[in-house]
Amino acid sequence: MPADPKLNLDDRVPWSEPAWYRSLSSPYYNESHRRLRDRVRKYVDEKILPEALDWEEAGDVPRDVALQFCRSGIPFEDVPVKYRPSDIPVLAGVPHDRLDAFHMLIVSDEMARVEGGVGIALAGASSIGAPPIIHYGTEAQKAKWLPGLFDRTTSFSLGITEPGGGSDVARLKTTAEKTPDGKFYIVNGAKKWITGTPWASHMTTAVRTGGDGMKGISVLVIPMDSPGVHHEKIRNSGQNAGGASFVDLENVKVPVENLIGEENRGFPVIMKNFNRERFLLAVGCNRKSRTCLAMSFQYAMQRETFGRPLMHNQVIRRKLVELAHRVEAHWAWLEQIAYHVGQSPLGWQSPDIASRIALVKIQGGQMVELAAREAQQIFGGAGYQRAGPGATVEQISRDLRMLVVGGGSEEIISDLAIRQELSVAAGKAKM
């Protein structure tokens, strides 16, 4: 399959990049952000995009390519310096302790230019599987597992969703019972839609160690090579290289040393990263929408129908401008949230942003659905073909469901947003 068509995208196409990349001034970005953007863009364009669609179709990435990426300094920006090998480069000359929410926004936006599940195949699902260890793990646990992320000896998945439910975390069924000597947990149950499973050395797993509800949940790190662990890849419409899998756990023996945080107090461990995860999904929605917009714009300029370019038709121009104002407004909201994260002592845990992140994720999901549809309308048959000028748009049309449903469906997190605002308002009323 040819290289991703976006490599042929003319950089003069309007709205193909956030405004700060081009001519508009912004109070949010400095030279370190520009260097970072240029560094990641160059890496993605040269080392990933030329083969990415082939890797997506194959469902995997060559291991040497994945190792090179893990050692590039691009992924795992949330791993503290003391657990990062000394030979991992300082990305774009930005000291690790100087990275801010806008650096993360830039990296996630640039990596979202990689279609399919290739980003997962490159670095595993450690972006969601490692944070519980980073935030709640003991020093021994961090020293044991985090350095291995950079040479692929460690790769995490996150085992929360089960066959019987996803967003209703408090009702999960997988159990973990201590052995009589108190040295191990015996885990039984099943997990489903677990991204990155084929490459995971460990699964950060939500289990039930106590009674019903959120107060009976604990988090265990389960080695994937343990006896009793079986997994099978699920055939999905898109993100073939993402490795989403069914994981069966049958009498799996896990050392008590692999407990993250305290027993029966795992619910906050699980929930802590959801704001950040949903924000990253919203960034992905924005970039995919922007890609659909830009590639449709360029195609409409080049494609001739009835003796003139498609762009000469007002109905086509209207489609493009409808996408443009949504993409630009959504990006401004992402920037506003990133700024608040940097200003708040609570960062991603600030109660003032949980509902806004839920809403920006909902808006992003609706936007990318519209963008893919309108792009395929403009491309016509080429937007339904897995090769040719519309290949990127076709891939996005199959991948977007993971962005829309992942991290909580619109139906779930819209209600979460309202309840969060009511809670914040009630708290302020008591002051």
User: Residue 122: its pLDDT value, please?
Assistant: 94
User: Residue 168: its pLDDT value, please?
Assistant: 72
Handedness of CA 349, 108, 170, 139 (dihedral sign): negative
Q: Which residues of the chain have pLDDT under 70?
A: 1, 166-167, 429-431
Q: Are 94 and 36 in contact (CB under 8 A)?
A: yes
Q: Are 184 and 255 in contact (CB under 8 A)?
A: yes
* Residue for token pair 């939500």: 206
Question: What 8-state DSSP symbol labels residue 165?
Answer: B
Average pLDDT, the chain: 93
193: left (phi over 0), alpha (psi -120 to 50) or beta: left
User: Residue 234: its pLDDT value, please?
Assistant: 93
Domains of the chain: 5-150 (1.10.540.10), 156-265 (2.40.110.10), 270-429 (1.20.140.10)
Name the pTM for this structure: 0.94
* Residue for token pair 């942003």: 353
189 three-class SS: strand
Structure tokens that stand for 254 in this block? 């896990």
User: Residue 22: its pLDDT value, please?
Assistant: 84
Angle between helices 101-111 and 31-43 (to 10 degrees): 20
User: Residue 6: its pLDDT value, please?
Assistant: 86
Q: Are 137 and 260 in contact (CB under 8 A)?
A: yes
Structure tokens that stand for 427 in this block? 């708290």
Q: Would strands 259-260 and 245-255 be described as parallel, antiparallel, or unpaired?
A: unpaired
The secondary structure element, H or E, covering residue 321 is helix 314-343
How many CA atoms lie within 13 Å of 241's alpha carbon, on the beta-carbon side? 26
347: left (phi over 0), alpha (psi -120 to 50) or beta: left
CA–CA separation, 383 vs 396, rounded Å?
A: 10
